[in-house]
Structure 1
Amino acid sequence: ERCSVLVHVLDISQIEGRDPLEDYMKIKKELSLYSENLLKKPEIVVANKVDLLPEELLKENLRYLEKELETAVIPTSAVTGQGKETLKNAIWKAVSTQRSQMSQVSCTSRSFPKKPSAFRRKLPERFDFQIKKQDQGFVVSGEHIDELLSRFSMPQRDSMRYILNLLEKNGLSRRLKEMGAEDGDTIWLGDRCFEYKE
C-alpha cells in the first residue's frame, strides 16, 4: 500500500484461455476492496508473453487493450527481453515523479488554531520552520507556515503542490529524515496530513 506506482503485468498470449482485460478488471476490484487509496496511484500496464503471438494478432490485441483501458500498454517478453528497457525507464520515470513530492492522504482532520496574517507581505524564498515528532506523526509549524496556510486554499491540489515545493526548497524532506521519519509516516501541515516518501 506504500508503493509509489502500480505495475499491472497481463498475459496477452491468451494461450491459457485468460482474457487480459478481464484479469485487469479483477485486479482493480481486489485493490478497491483492500484500499480505495490504491486506485489513486499511477499505473503502468504491461502486456507480457508477446513472443507467443503472430505480429498482426499482437498489434490487434494491443490496440484493443489500449482502447479499452485508455492508456498506453508496454509490450514485453520475459523470454526474449523485448520491452525490458522501455519498462524499466517507464517505472523509473513514474517512481521518480511520485517521490519528488509528498502525496496527500485521506486522514481525519484535526483542529489547529490559525494565526491570521496582519498584512499580505511577500514571503521570502528561504525561511525557518519547526518540526515536532508526536504520537500521530510529525507536525510542521512556524510563522511562515501559518501565513502560507492562510493565503492558499489547502484542498486545491495546485495550492498544496506549491506549498510542498516551497517547503522542499527549505529542506523539509532532509530535516524529516534527520528526525527519523520513515516511508509512510504521517506529516501534519496545519489541519491537513501528508504521507512522507523517502
Structure 2
Amino acid sequence: MFIDKVRIHVRGGNGGAGCMSFRREAHVPKGGPDGGDGGHGGNVVIQADASVSSLIEYRFKHHFKAERGTHGKGSRMHGAQGEDLVLRVPVGTVVREYFEDSKETGELIADLTHDGETVTVARGGMGGRGNIHFVTSTRRAPAFAELGEPAQEGWIELEMKLMADAALVGMPSAGKSSLIAKMSAARPKVADYPFTTLVPNLGVATSGDLSFVVADIPGLIEGAHEGRGLGHEFLRHIERTALIVHIVDLTGDYEGRDPLEDYDIINRELALYAADLAERPRIVVANKIDVPGTEEVCERLAERVRADSVAAAGGDEFAPSPVDPKLYRISALTGAGVDSLKAAIATKVHELREAARDAAAAEVQYEHVWEHRREAREARFDITREGDAFRVTGGRVERMVVQTDWENEEAVTFLQHRMKRLGVDDALRKAGALDGDEIRILGYSFEYESPEGHVDVYQELDL
C-alpha cells in the first residue's frame, strides 16, 4: 500500500537521576561524596533510507518512545545511557512540526533528500548530576543530587515526496501509464477509463549510457491546486522532479475535450499550486498519433508550444527557455517516437543533474539548523501575571524545576541559584515582582526574594 503522509507522536527517553551518596569504607571515617550521574535518555531520530518506499510502517502505530537513561549509583557509578530510537523513512521525506490540538503544521524540521541523512526530532533528557558535582570550598558534603531531565516530546508530520528525475503529468487517460510501461520495466495498471492510476508509479528508463527515474503522476483535473479530485495528494510529488513531461491526449479522450484546452489547464494548475513549477524545465508530448484525424490538432499544439517557449524566454526566440520548443509526437500504444523521447529526457535530466551537483555543497545542514533553533526556543521564558502572583513559563526553566528534589532544602536553594544565572530574577523584578510575591512554575510555587536581599551560597559554582 502506498502511504505518503502520516502524523506521529515522538518522545525521547527521560534522563536517569543522579545519586546522592557518600563514600563508606573501613578506615575511611569521613569519605567524601561519591554519587554517580544518571544516564542520558535516548533520542528519537528520523533517518532517510533508500530501501524504504512508503510510510506504511507508521499507518497504524503512531506513538514512539526512546529508551530512558538509568539512575546513577554510589561509588561514582554512572547510569547507562538509553539507546536512540531510529525511525526509517523514504528518501524525499519532509519532516515538520505538527500541533495535534489545532490540527496545524508548524515549522520545517528537515527535508531528507539523501540516503542516510538524519535529524533528531525528540531529544532525550540529560541525566541528573550526582552530588560529586556540587562540592565547593565551603560546602564539602552536598546532600543533594539532580533528578533526571524530562525528554522532549511532540507530534510531527512526515510527508513523502517522490524523488524522480522526470514526472509525467497530464489529464486522466492521457496515456501516462502506457508511456511509463513502454519506457521502463514498470508495469502499472492500464485501462481505458479515467483515474485508473490512483497512486504514483516509478520506473527507471535507459537511453544509451544515460538513465533516469521517471514518475507516473495520477491524472490531474481543473481545480487540482485547490484539492479538487486528488490534486493535493499528487501535486506534491511533482515538486521535487527536475523535469516535467507534459502528456497531451490528441484525441480528447471519450469526452471529446479540446487537447489545447487540456494543455492550458494542466499548465495553469501547476503554476497555481506552486509558482516555481511554471519555471520548471518542461517537455511537451503529443500522444496517440496512431489515431487517424489527429494531424491538424497536433500541428496547432506544436505552434502553441513554440509560442510558449518564446514567451517563457522573455520574447526572445533565441534565448534559452524552460519550455522545449519541440513537440515530441509519440504513440504509447505502438511505441512510435518513444525512443527519441527517451533520449531527449535522458539528455535533459543529465544536464540538470550536472547543474544541481554544483549547488550540492551549499545544501542546508538541517540537524544543525533545527538544533540551533530548538535551543534558542528552549532558552526563552515568559512572565505573566496571575492575580497577585507571577507565572514563569519556558522549556529550560520548567525542566530545571522538574529536575529539582523539592523535599531537599539544599536542592531548592541550588535551583534559585540557577534561576538567577538564567536571568529569571532580573526579569521578575522588571515585571514588578516584590519581596514576598508568589512565583509559580508548573505546579510549584515559592516566594520571590530580590537579589539585594538574597545571599547566593552557590556563587562559587560555575554552573
Using structure 2 for the length normalisation, give the TM-score.
0.22
The structure that has the greater radius of gyration is: 2
Higher helix share: 1
Higher strand share: 2
Using structure 1 for the length normalisation, give the TM-score.
0.49
Which structure has more relative contact order (CA 8 Å, sep 6+)? It is 1
